Amino acid sequence: MNSEIEKLLAELGPEFEKEILRVIPREGVPNLHDAVWYHLDSGGKRLRPALAVVACRALGGDSGKVMPFAAACELLHNWFLVHDDIEDGDSFRRGKEAVWKKFGFDHGINVGDFMSEKVYELILLSQESGLGAEETLQLAKVVAETCSKTAEGQTMDMNLRKENNPSEEAYMETIKRKTGWYFTLPIVGGAIVAKASDEIIRKIREFGLKAGPAFQIADDLLDLTSGKGREDIGADIKEGKRSLMVVHCNKACSPGEKEKLFETLNKPREQTSQEDVLWVKSLFEKHGSLEYAREKARKLVGEAKEISTALPKEAMDILDSFASYVIERTR
Amino acid sequence: MNSEIEKLLAELGPEFEKEILRVIPREGVPNLHDAVWYHLDSGGKRLRPALAVVACRALGGDSGKVMPFAAACELLHNWFLVHDDIEDGDSFRRGKEAVWKKFGFDHGINVGDFMSEKVYELILLSQESGLGAEETLQLAKVVAETCSKTAEGQTMDMNLRKENNPSEEAYMETIKRKTGWYFTLPIVGGAIVAKASDEIIRKIREFGLKAGPAFQIADDLLDLTSGKGREDIGADIKEGKRSLMVVHCNKACSPGEKEKLFETLNKPREQTSQEDVLWVKSLFEKHGSLEYAREKARKLVGEAKEISTALPKEAMDILDSFASYVIERTR
């Protein structure tokens, strides 16, 4: 990540925490407030709030006014993870037990619901930080729209997992919906606070519709290398996720391989062995599916950078370093 | 329910549906849009949106401006039910399969999340209906605060279910948090749109902190009579819910009865027979716990009506008929 963002992360990390504490104190109802902080304390790079601040500054805005929104982006990201882990049956997150695993399944749902409301409570405090009513409303709107689209993408993703002949078109539509708007939410919010023009905001969103899917593909690749801090590599395979590698491999492999591939993906996750995972990975390698996915991500990042050239230099630099990060990150 | 609200329900029902259709069309992503409408079409009295309209009119507001918020109250209520059914393991709702049972558990969580975002999307459309920015923000704030408190109450309720000596104090705190704010949300919203004074809004909320718990106690009683449209009577007993009857009976019964009472409540719900349910019900009857709960609900309704006398006559009438409904409803 670029050094300005790294510096900001060190400088502003505690500030973001203070913002979240305004709406979720550490002491509160057992199995709720403690559960939220158990999750938040488990890590996360606070990348999203830093992006909101950087974007706001780059576009000439007062970053003091963006702080509640910035912190809300972090909270939002974390509530998605709390519910995602339940939906995907993931027991581990950042090397610790997932919230639902530690606090129970019914609490897990409710903890996420609580966090989702606190996202709005926090954003609606922006007026106290000096933001105008119209901009505050615009921030809330952009969050509601983005989360709705992301939920649609989540459904499409679940639907795709029932599909034994997933097309690249359906895959791309799914990840575009699931990540395309969400990816640039902090930057769009930063731009709103900076009172950027509609044209600039439109370009940032277009950028996200390329860079978001690139991020998702890169993330799927990481699942087979670093394992993203979950139990083992290949959790996506155990979940039966239709990644771009699955989509590509499905077209390239033999009928016998295809049968075994989907048999493995469709097994209940607790029945999928590490041997199964390694077999699928080797099938991907045999047919060049990993390389195909890497190339696709690179291409999307290129297209995203192309879009960013229409933006003011400072904004372009942020988007570009964000795009490079997508490709270069290792965990 | 009073006749003005009944007339409104007949007149405005389709209007509320049109509002919701602005943000959730019937055609959309399979297992999402259809799931929302499967749930919404299953019934519900649309009481909440009607209340918002009646309150707004009674306080001199333009009811056209309250329509998005009113419909959002219905959507909000229904998303609570979608997640509640998962958390409580209820398979039936309004005589049909619950959303999670019909569409699957992972979709069920995501459908609720989607609905919760659409609540805000809808409220934020209020400006298009002529509502000012400040009032629109106030509506969103009141929703976020109310939902946060309700989620806290939900956690407290779950915590209480692990308690084998639940006190009346803990019980009352729990239902106050779970229902106290939520109960008058539509009326508070109607008052905001009508630009009612802070004093009026404060009184409406105080009213809710009495009438909401009364509603909850009456609801628990209904579970043992009509069964609230779920599979059988006594679903709360199967879930191990610590109702006011449990709290009262716990103090009144013999040590042997107490042991059997909690043994029954703590059984996994699929192992709780209808005979178990009837045994608990008869224990409640033996010790006067049903009558105790009925009396407590009546007392709270009386206190609520007392608070409402400080309001303008039209607003008082609405709150009073709402309070009477709490006690008189049969399903």
Summarised one tens digit per residue, pLDDT across range A33-46 is: 999 999 999 987 78
SS3 at position A96:
strand
Judge: A86–B107 Cβ closer than 8 Å, yes or no: no
DSSP symbol at A65: G
Q: Is A137 on the interface with B (CB under 8 A)?
A: yes
Contacts of B268 in chain A (CB under 8 A): none
CA distance A124 to A137: 8
Contacts of B156 in chain A (CB under 8 A): 29
Instruction: Please give the biggest Cα pair distance in chain B.
Output: 63
Q: What is the pLDDT of residue B227?
A: 59
Interface test with B, best of A82, A155, A159, A173 (most B CBs within 10 A): A155
Q: H/E/C letters for each residue in chain B?
A: CCHHHHHHHHHHHHHHHHHHHHHCCCCCCCCCHHHHHHHHCCCCCCHHHHHHHHHHHHCCCCHHHHHHHHHHHHHHHHHHHHHHHHHHCCCEECCEECHHHHHCHHHHHHHHHHHHHHHHHHHCCHHHHCCCHHHHHHHHHHHHHHHHHHHHHHHHHHHHCCCCCCCHHHHHHHHHHHHCCHHHHHHHHHHHHCCCCHHHHHHHHHHHHHHHHHHHHHHHHHHCCCHHHCCCCCHHHHHCCCCHHHHHHHHHCCHHHHHHHHHHHHCCHHHCCHHHHHHHHHHHHHCCHHHHHHHHHHHHHHHHHHHHCCCCHHHHHHHHHHHHHHHHCCC
Q: What is the pLDDT of residue B233?
A: 85
Summarised one tens digit per residue, pLDDT across range B123-158 is: 999 999 999 999 999 999 999 999 999 999 999 999
Q: Which residue matches tokens 């009032």? A: B135
Q: Is A30 on the interface with B (CB under 8 A)?
A: yes
Strands (E), chain A: 92-93, 96-97
**CA end-to-end distance (rounded Å), chain A:** 12
CA distance B17 to B12: 9
How close does chain B come to A301, measured CA to CA in Å?
27
Summarised one tens digit per residue, pLDDT across range A140-182 is: 999 999 999 999 999 999 999 999 999 999 999 999 999 999 9
Q: Is A109 on the interface with B (CB under 8 A)?
A: yes
Show Cβ contacts of residue A84 under 8 Å, excluding neighbours closer than 6 positions.
A90, A154
Backbone angles phi, psi at A208, to 5 degrees: -65, -35
Average model confidence (pLDDT) across chain A: 93
Contacts of B28 in chain A (CB under 8 A): 152
Judge: B109–A109 Cβ closer than 8 Å, yes or no: yes
Q: What is the pLDDT of residue B119?
A: 98
Q: What is the pLDDT of residue A95?
A: 87
In this prediction, does ipTM exceed 0.90? Answer: yes
Q: What is the pLDDT of residue A127?
A: 96
What sections of A42-162 are H helices per DSSP? 47-58, 67-88, 99-103, 105-123, 133-160
Q: Is A158 on the interface with B (CB under 8 A)?
A: yes
The confidence band for A17, taking pLDDT boundaries of 50, 70 and 90, is very high
Q: What is the pLDDT of residue B95?
A: 87
Q: Is B252 on the interface with A (CB under 8 A)?
A: no
Structure tokens at B119: 């609540």
DSSP symbol at A127: G
On whether the CB atoms of residues A99 and A55 are closer than 8 A, the answer is no
Q: Which residue matches tokens 């389709």? A: B14
Summarised one tens digit per residue, pLDDT across range A96-148 is: 999 999 999 999 999 999 999 999 999 999 999 999 999 999 999 999 999 99
**How crowded is residue B102: how many other Cβ atoms within 10 Å of its Cβ?**
16
Residue A261 has pLDDT above 90, yes or no: yes
Q: What is the pLDDT of residue B16?
A: 94
Judge: B152–A29 Cβ closer than 8 Å, yes or no: yes
Q: What is the pLDDT of residue B230?
A: 57
Judge: B113–A109 Cβ closer than 8 Å, yes or no: no
Q: What is the pLDDT of residue A5?
A: 67
Q: What is the pLDDT of residue A47?
A: 85
Please, what are the domains in chain B? 3-328 (1.10.600.10)
Q: Is B162 on the interface with A (CB under 8 A)?
A: no
Q: What is the pLDDT of residue B4?
A: 66
Contacts of B106 in chain A (CB under 8 A): 86-88, 158
Residue A282 has pLDDT above 60, yes or no: yes
- The low-confidence residues of chain B, meaning pLDDT below 70, are 1-5, 227-231, 330-331
Q: Is A273 on the interface with B (CB under 8 A)?
A: no
Backbone angles phi, psi at B178, to 5 degrees: -75, -30
